[in-house]
Amino acid sequence: MAQEDVFKKLVSHCKEYGFVFPSSDIYDGLGAVYDYGQMGVELKNNIKQYWWQSMVLLHENIVGIDSAIFMHPTIWKASGHVDAFNDPLIDNRDSKKRYRADVLIEDQLAKYDDKINKEVAKAAKRFGEAFDEAQFRSTNGRVLEHQAKRDALHERFAKALNDNNLDELRQIILDEEIVCPISGTKNWTEVRQFNLMFKTFQGVTEDAKNTVYLRPETAQGIFTNFVNTQRTTRRKLPFGVCQIGKSFRNEITPGNFIFRVREFEQMELEFFCKPGTDLEWFQYWRTFCHNWLLGIGLKDENLRLRDHDPEELCFYSKATTDFEFLFPFGWGELWGVADRTDYDLTQHQNTSGVKMVYREGEGKDMVEYVPYVIEPSLGVERSVLAVLCDAYDEEVVGQDKKGNDDVRVVLHFHPALAPFKAAILPLSKKDVLAGPAMELYNELSKEFMVDYDETGSIGKRYRREDEIGTPFCITVDFDTVGDEAKGIAADNCVTVRDRDTMEQVRMPISELKSYIESKIEF
Ligand code: GAP
């Protein structure tokens, strides 16, 4: 099945099973804003909880905070967001569609990469085992031609971005003969800068003095609380402060479902360290993030680390690595790890007049300096989407009576992320089974999120649980409860069916809790 179709199915599955709904659905939705349903909120909370525990519980030198969304507007001036948090916009006059000029050029770069990769794939097929990819890439005429064009474009693009040269961005689009995907024409407007922050007003007067912004990142709430946190925790360097919270960006080209949205959550850590040790910590956090993503069950082959070229780095960053995930629509950034140097603390120190320093040593040996910062910043929505994409599967498990494939749709979540850990399914709705099944449900619900379902055939109920990714279905049957009248003793056992293998084991009820606990550990 084409990846596009897989993605469409996943999006409709999310709506159908209560993971993600378009926001304001009954009013035809609101562009690039989504709501989480009863399944989605559990999945999202489980991801956030695992992240928080990995940071705050497992690192004695990391604490968490929860700062406000509204902040003093000067913060965004100091951080550079008022002047530089812009996207270059271009419109096509014929389709009236608006694009990010940089994205149009990035897509063009990707086209050159595709051409090169196609040549390599063709040659690999032709030469079989004897194929030497490195040699082919460095000697094949067509590959070298595409590569030279790509490199020249990349260099020109990076320079235009660096110089903030909007005319040059437009000229690149014209020279590369990039057309609007809707109208197919090259009838482009000038390129303009567009600030991504949402503005509103505090108080009753709507004027510039009262402008406040919806924060576009949670990080600034951590930087501006640096002094408060360091003083009250009395932490020595290196130490980190993390938070999970909403961020807002007026994205010009949102899309790909919850990948790029206007209201989203970030899980950000600002790890403060001594200047000179920053690159070491940068490596530490790169490795940590990679392991964390594997820990939530993402497949390594769907992950890649992309180091930013020097000319691509943000103005505040010394080194940046993006963790990219292979979504059905292509590779996309999931987690950015950046060495933000002392940029933010210095900016806030200069703007507010408050010293943002760390004091090391005692008495006359004491030195003070502005710490450096390593920032791993992960989007909740993108994590949810990556987990859903990796988990979604359609398996042919047999044939129906007419000879058609019997397809099982299943979400293979890591059990710890699954919205429900188990489902209690009495074999019959009758009180004799429903009563004890409900008792078991009440007991296990004290420990885990558990579903209860007594309607439909057991096969249908298994499928419903597969579709929402419940790792264990627990069937209460007549052997479980016995029959006193007939002198048949209860065996106090249940059948546990595994979502992934579909295997069933008989197990004493008394062992269920520890069995599930052992399976839902990360
Ligand atoms: N404090 C650094 C920062 O905000 P970023 O690369 O702009 O860096 C960090 O954002 C992460 O936030 C991204 O890797 C992505 O996971 C998530 N993110 C950013 N913009 C987003 C959007 N419009 N929709 C969903 N997630 C987004």
User: Are residues 280 and 353 in contact, defined by beta-carbon separation less than 8 angstroms?
Assistant: no
User: Are residues 408 and 394 in contact, defined by beta-carbon separation less than 8 angstroms?
Assistant: yes
Compute the distance from residue 119 Cα to the ligand 1 centre, in Å.
Answer: 34
Compute the distance from residue 2 Cα to the ligand 1 centre, in Å.
Answer: 28
Instruction: Give residues with Cβ within 8 angstroms of 105, minimum separation 6.
Output: 153, 157, 169, 172, 173, 176, 178
The C-alpha atoms of residue 267 and residue 218 are separated, in whole angstroms, by 8
What pLDDT is stored for residue 162 in this prediction?
84
Q: Specify burial of residue 413 (Cβ count, 10 A radius: 0-12, 13-18, 19+).
A: buried
Angle (deg, nearest 10), helices 166-175 and 101-127: 40
Compute the distance from residue 254 Cα to the ligand 1 centre, in Å.
Answer: 12
**Model-level pTM?**
0.91
Beta bridge mates, 392: 411
The C-alpha atoms of residue 426 and residue 432 are separated, in whole angstroms, by 10
Closest C-alpha to ligand 1, atom 26: 379
Closest C-alpha to ligand 1, atom 21: 260
What pLDDT is stored for residue 314 in this prediction?
78
Residue 136 has phi, psi (to 5 degrees) of: -60, -45
Compute the distance from residue 215 Cα to the ligand 1 centre, in Å.
Answer: 12
Compute the distance from residue 488 Cα to the ligand 1 centre, in Å.
Answer: 61
Pocket test for ligand 1, best of 316, 333, 334, 343 (most atoms within 8 A of CB): 333
Q: Of the candidates 142, 386, 5, 492, which has an alpha carbon nearest to the alpha carbon of residue 150?
A: 142
User: Are residues 322 and 335 in contact, defined by beta-carbon separation less than 8 angstroms?
Assistant: yes
Closest C-alpha to ligand 1, atom 24: 260
Helix (H, G, I), strand (E, B) or coil at 396: strand
The C-alpha atoms of residue 157 and residue 109 are separated, in whole angstroms, by 10
Give the type of residue at 268: E
- Residue 449, number of CB atoms within 10 A of its CB: 15
- Residue 188, number of CB atoms within 10 A of its CB: 20
Closest C-alpha to ligand 1, atom 22: 260
Q: Specify the ligand 1 atom closest to the Cα of 261.
A: 24
Pocket test for ligand 1, best of 217, 223, 266, 383 (most atoms within 8 A of CB): 266
Q: Cβ < 6 Å from ligand 1: which residues?
A: 217, 219, 249, 251, 260-261, 264, 266, 268, 333-336, 375, 377-379, 381-382
Quick one: three-class SS letters along 135-174?
HHHHHCHHHHHHHHHHHHHHHHHHHHHHCCCHHHHHHHHH
User: Are residues 355 and 370 in contact, defined by beta-carbon separation less than 8 angstroms?
Assistant: no
Instruction: Give residues with Cβ within 8 angstroms of 306, minimum separation 6.
Output: 321, 322, 323, 324
Read out DSSP for 32-98? T-EEE-HHHHHHHHHHHHHHHIIIIIT-TTEEE----SS--HHHHHHTTHHHH-EEEEEEBTTT--E
Q: Specify the ligand 1 atom closest to the Cα of 336.
A: 14
User: Are residues 411 and 469 in contact, defined by beta-carbon separation less than 8 angstroms?
Assistant: yes
Compute the distance from residue 216 Cα to the ligand 1 centre, in Å.
Answer: 9
Q: Specify the ligand 1 atom closest to the Cα of 322.
A: 14
Pocket test for ligand 1, best of 327, 377, 378 (most atoms within 8 A of CB): 377
Compute the distance from residue 245 Cα to the ligand 1 centre, in Å.
Answer: 12
Each residue's pLDDT tens digit in the chain (522 positions)? Answer: 778 889 999 999 999 999 999 999 999 999 999 999 999 999 999 999 999 999 999 999 999 999 999 999 999 999 999 999 999 999 999 999 999 999 999 999 999 999 999 999 999 999 998 899 999 999 999 999 999 999 999 999 989 988 889 999 999 999 999 999 999 999 999 999 999 999 999 998 888 888 999 999 999 999 999 999 999 999 999 999 999 999 999 998 888 999 999 999 999 999 999 999 999 999 999 999 999 999 999 999 999 999 988 777 777 789 999 999 999 999 999 999 999 999 999 999 999 999 999 999 999 999 999 999 999 999 999 999 999 999 999 999 999 888 899 999 999 999 999 999 999 999 999 999 999 999 999 999 999 999 999 999 999 999 999 999 999 999 999 999 999 889 899 999 999 999 999 999 999 999 999 999 999 987
Compute the distance from residue 261 Cα to the ligand 1 centre, in Å.
Answer: 10
Compute the distance from residue 39 Cα to the ligand 1 centre, in Å.
Answer: 23
The C-alpha atoms of residue 298 and residue 414 are separated, in whole angstroms, by 9
What pLDDT is stored for residue 3 in this prediction?
81
Using one digit for the tens of pLDDT, what is the confidence trace for 354-395? 999 999 999 999 999 999 999 999 999 999 999 999 999 999
